[in-house]
Structure formats: structure tokens, C-alpha cells
Structure 1
Amino acid sequence: MSELFSEVDEELRREQLKKLWDKYSLLIIALAILVVAGVGGWRGYEYLQGQKAAEAGAAFDRAVELSEQNKHAEAEAAFADLAAKAPAGYRVLARLRLAAEVATRDPQAAAKMYDEIAADRSVGAAEQDLARIRAAQLLLESTTYQNMLQRLEPATAANSTFRHTARELLALSAYRANDAAAARQWLDLIANDAETPPSLRSRAEALQALLPPVAKS
């Protein structure tokens, strides 16, 4: 008797499945086609993005070679093209290198380009700080300590990638401005940071020796 009930149940299930298939078969087929097309489209997109990244990488390497050969005008044009057309990662790198090429002929214009990168919120924090550093290096001899402070203070935080260089530049700028207290402040930060590179620490100690002694109260 139980076998009969099982056969009836099985027949009912088949009938229900047949009705569901008859009712929804077109929808199921359409969904399957969409899934296959979606996976294929995504794989195609990934392939195209990989191709673009590979092409941008090769073009970037060629532009670097031009720069190393002192063909700065050609390198500048190549980096400008990458900055306009390359995928996002290479576009930022190309903007930084383009500014470096411009610096060989027009430091003020290059500093403005670095400032634009530093102000661009679509750029990563490390790249923004690097742009701040590069602009400050170009302007160190021609701008005020207050201007340098405004530019570099965000890059001196304890978790900033380029904090050591930012602090050194501010110490140098303060020293040039005859602001011994400010110079000492940045040199102390350099000295007390266990991760300060040895070469930079040595330069900071040399600058510290040039400062007037602290007045005794």
C-alpha cells in the first residue's frame, strides 16, 4: 500500500513540475540566458580592462625611458597622454610624472600641477601627500614658512606615509625663516619617531646643531 502512495506522490510531483515548466519555462530560459550573458560580459570586461592596464603599463615604461634619456619634451607628451587616457591607477602615476617633467623647465607650473593632485579627492591619500611633498620641495627656497606649514602639515601626521620628509622640509623652512622654535619642534618630532630613516635622522641632528641654544629661564 505504501508503494502505491509513493507512486501517486511521485506522479503528483511530476504533474506539478510539468505545470510549472509549462508556465515558467520561457522565464527560466530567459534568466539562464541572462546569467550566461552576464558572466560572459563580465569576463569580457575583465579581459578588456586587463588589456588596457597592460598597454598603459607598457606606455608608462616607455615614457620613463624617454625621461631617463633626457628627452623631457617627448616624455612630457607621453605622460600627458597617459594622464588623459590611461586607467585610473596609471593616470595618477602619469600625472605625478608629468609634473616632474614640467619641473625641469618650469618649477612654478609644476608646483601648481602637484597642488591640483593634492586637492583631488579621487586621488589616494598617499599620492596626495606625495604631491604635497613634491610641490613643497620645488617652493622651499621661494615661499614662506607659513605657506609651507599650510601645505605640509596634513602630511606630518603619525600615520602619514611621507611624514618624515614633510617634517624635514618644515624644519628647513623654519630654519630659513629664523624661527628656531618651529624648527626645533619639527626636529624633535623627527628625533622621537622610531621609524625615522637613519639618513634623515642624521640630517636632522646636523640641523639641530646649527640652532641657537634654548634660553634658560
Structure 2
Amino acid sequence: MKMENLPVNSLSLDFLTEFLISLEKLENDRGCRGVILTSGAPKIFSAGLDIMEMYGKSAEHYAEFWKAVQEMWLRLYQSNMVTIAAINGSSPAGGCLMAMCCDYRIMAENPKYSIGLNETQLGIVAPFWFKDTMVNTIGNRATERSLELGLLYSAPEAHKIGLVDQLVPEEKIQSTAAAVMSQWLAIPDHARQITKSVMRKPTVDRLLAHRESDIQNFVSFITKDSIQKSLQMYMGMLKQRRG
């Protein structure tokens, strides 16, 4: 599955809706046992949540958007398919979350590419289920430091702390992903799926138990004047960089 929401595969409401439809089709296709998630955008896997969805909109819009973000995580994190992230570019914030949802992560060994949950740099707090996903990936202490400082790790740094499983030259990322997929598909589906469910169920159940309050927390947080001003400043900074 190649993400092509150019220029940076930002996770807009429209994109998330399309993504969920595509994922559901693959889940329902009995001939499809695995999916390799990658990017059709140069130098970027996904820039994460679309800031335009979080700025200057109604509370109803924010709630709908956040529900779609939750749904993306729930579907991808619990997928019965083998999911491999072929990270062929930078992957901050929501892009990092998508990658962490997958069973295995392969990243292009380009030191210019980075990955991490950098929300605090934008004045935003990563939700508890973002945090839980990262703890499950790299452990508690590394997650605490990563989230408080909003760290973005270079590809070699990400590999060192276990945020990605493997580094390969960019031109070999798809062939490596296919080889890894063969290894995972050699395991009987039912045994792998049950094991995955057992490992991930407590994390999933925690969001399901607090889903509505999580949406309400997001809406009350994102509608604060101070947060809207922070997002406005960040967008201004991005425009200056592009200029």
C-alpha cells in the first residue's frame, strides 16, 4: 500500500477515510495475508497529522477528525494481516505512530531521514495511546525521554533504540520488505494472529474504554486559544521555510 497524499502524506480527514477503506478491503480479501506500507512521496514516509485539520475549525470537526485518527490506529494496530512499514523517508509524529502500529519496521539508512513523536515541540501533548504504543516498542525510559523532549531520531539512532528493526539502502527497501514478509508468512496465520492479539489487547482495550473521553480531551485541548496560537506560529514557521 503506497501512500500518495502529496506533498508530505499528511494525515487529513480525507486521507484517513481513504486509508481505512483501503485497509478494510485488504482485510476482507482472503487472498491477502500481509501488507507493506510505504510512501510514494519523495524523502517522506508521512509528516503526521494534518495541522490544517486542527486549526480554525469547529469542535464538531475536531471530534470527527480525532475519531478517524483513533480508528486508523485501532485498525492498523489490530490488523490480522502481517503489516510491514517500509519507511522510505522521514516519519514524525502521526507518521511515526503509523509505523509503530506495524509488526516490523524497515527504514532507509539515510541519516537525513528522521522518525519520532515530536508533539511537544509543537506545544501539543501526545495522547496516552501514542505513549502506550511507543512504550511497547522501545520501553518506558526511552519513551519518557523521547516524549518530553519531542525527539526526532535519525535512522541510525532509531535503529539503535529499537524504534525501527532494520536499516537498508533505500534502493533495497522494497525487496527487503518482501523478504521479511515471506519470513512472517511462513508462520501459520491463526497462531501468529492470536499471539499478536494477546500482546496488543491490553493497549487496545485501554483506548476502547476511554475512547469518548479521549475525543473530548482532544477537542477541549485543541480549541484552547494558546494551542491555536502555537499552531498558527508553527504554520507560519513552515511557510517561511518553504519560502
Normalising by structure 1, report the TM-score: 0.24
Larger radius of gyration: 1
- Higher-strand-fraction structure: 2
Normalising by structure 2, report the TM-score: 0.22
Q: Could you say which structure has the greater relative contact order, defined with CA pairs below 8 angstroms and 6 or more residues apart? A: 2
